[in-house]
Amino acid sequence: MAVNAADIKSVVQISPVDSFAGKVELTEEERELALALQNYVPGSEAEKKLVRKVDLIMIPTVWCMYILAVLDRSNIGNARIAGMATELELNDNRYALALSIFFIGYLICETPSNLLLTRARPSWYLSSIMVVWGALCACMAALKTYHGLLALRFFLGCIEAGFFPGVLFIMSCWYKKEEIGKRFSIFYTASVFAGSLGGIMAGAIIGHLNGTHGIAGWRWLFIIEGIITIGFAILAKFILLDFPGNSTRLSLEERQLAVVRILHDKQTTSARHGIRLTFWQALKASLADSRTYIMTLLAILNLGSTTIVYFIPTIVKAVGYTSTTAQWMTVPIYMTAAAMLIILSYTADRTHDRRWHITGCFVLSFVCSIVCIASSSPQARYVMLCFFIGGLYVALPLILTWITEIISLPAEKRAASMAIANSVGNLASVYGSRLWPSSTGPRYVMGFTVVSVFLGLGAVLAATIPVIVRYLPAEGQTKAEQEILRREEVIVNTQPEFKNVTAMVQVHGE
């Protein structure tokens, strides 16, 4: 349903329109966008060409960037079984803290970083933080003490915090609701391929360079992966798109079309497009919205279960493989997850469904975790582990894209809400990393039992969210949001072009 005066009055109490008449001045950009929105025809050849162009530029670039981000944060698992644990005296508790402290930095910096991104150029911002985290990764090769590892992992979390939610926010500015799900899931397959590539690279680097120039193989792993990250970050600066309204890679007509189609998709008018919330207004609006907390809880239940990925090499090794072979045996696990992610994200967009796809993924992983608890067969547990990871990896991008649809406007509030959900969700890794001590191997009953509870609750919550959200206020809970809604109401009721636009958006929205 479109945003119009009647809708606005049902959300917030506002003063009569006449009291605002004459006080709202429209910019030339707003008038041009209103005219373009009035003439907009969804699915035109020009729009299809624009989407293909954006896909070609954006998706491969951020996909490669995310592969490197995941490699740089998770290579500690490969390094651990290749000698780092011995040199730095990492027992189970110390290793768990080294994992957890990354997510503490992530939690602290993710929301501020996403709000900062709304005021920056993505091509500069994302490539700059990538250079920094690549340098931090390379510096891990020089580690001599456990405390040095903690410091570097903390700052790595602070810097990487800006990338993943930043990409989701940028995609929500470029793609419609029926487009974003499969594209964000394709982007997220990078984490799956990174798991496979991480095992392959670790096996190759550690196996061939261990002892070269007197440097241990696990140190070479950090050096090589850090240098690759820095090199690609420099290249990405010249490839990445900025936001639709200011991306120099597009023509003026393409930029206007990119903005208009998203305005139409979010069923709003250009009257809102030029109004931006400040950092604190966006944060307050997000925290005042109860939907943020519901979606954050769902993310917690998913991300608390995915902490197993940092222990997959160790768990696979416990099945009976040697250190090097265990690196290679992680590959089929991630390839299974990649296939599931591509197929199910496509069907989720095709059917316009998030609810039952997410619920189904939680149920699948829940069943697999129960089998892992009950079975003593290494082969059966390995197969179940493949589908367990697959369910978890499919659910997360669908949860995050669901957030962008449930809390779509204002843009700054959307950026804050998705960052809060992802960062607080990742906080589950602080305690989740302690669920898999080697003393509970090879069956790891404690870890699988806890995540079974998470997954069962997640399935129930995902299935009931649409019902819960139906009874919650949608927007206008803060003064800043109410001002935006009042301004839009005045413009829609006093400017002929905006009245026409609102009517057209409502027709197409239905």
Q: Spell out the domain ranges in the chain.
A: 43-250+279-477
- pLDDT greater than 90 at residue 301: yes
Architecture field, domain 43-250+279-477: Up-down Bundle (1.20)
CA distance 266 to 178: 11
DSSP secondary structure code for residue 374 in this structure: H
Cα dist. 53→48, 173, 180, 455 in Å?
Answer: 9, 15, 15, 38
DSSP letter string, 285-324: HHHT-HHHHHHHHHHHHHHTTGGGGGGHHHHHHHHT--HH
319-356 pLDDT per residue, tens: 666 666 666 777 888 889 889 998 999 999 889 899 99
State residue 14's pLDDT score. 35
What average pLDDT does this structure show over 136-148? 95
Residue 76 corresponds to which tokens in the numbers above?
Answer: 């500690």
List the one residue out of 495, 488, 485, 480 whose CA is nearest residue 13.
Answer: 485
Higher pLDDT, 219 or 264: 219
CA distance 5 to 21: 14
State residue 430's pLDDT score. 73
CA distance 266 to 508: 11
pTM reported for the whole predicted model: 0.80
> How many other C-beta atoms can be found within 10 angstroms of the C-beta atom of residue 487?
17
20-63 pLDDT per residue, tens: 444 556 666 667 777 777 778 888 999 999 999 999 999 999 99
- pLDDT greater than 50 at residue 504: no
- pLDDT greater than 80 at residue 299: yes
94-128 pLDDT per residue, tens: 988 898 899 889 889 999 999 999 889 999 999 99
Q: Tell me which of 257-266, 449-458, 494-503 is least confident.
A: 494-503
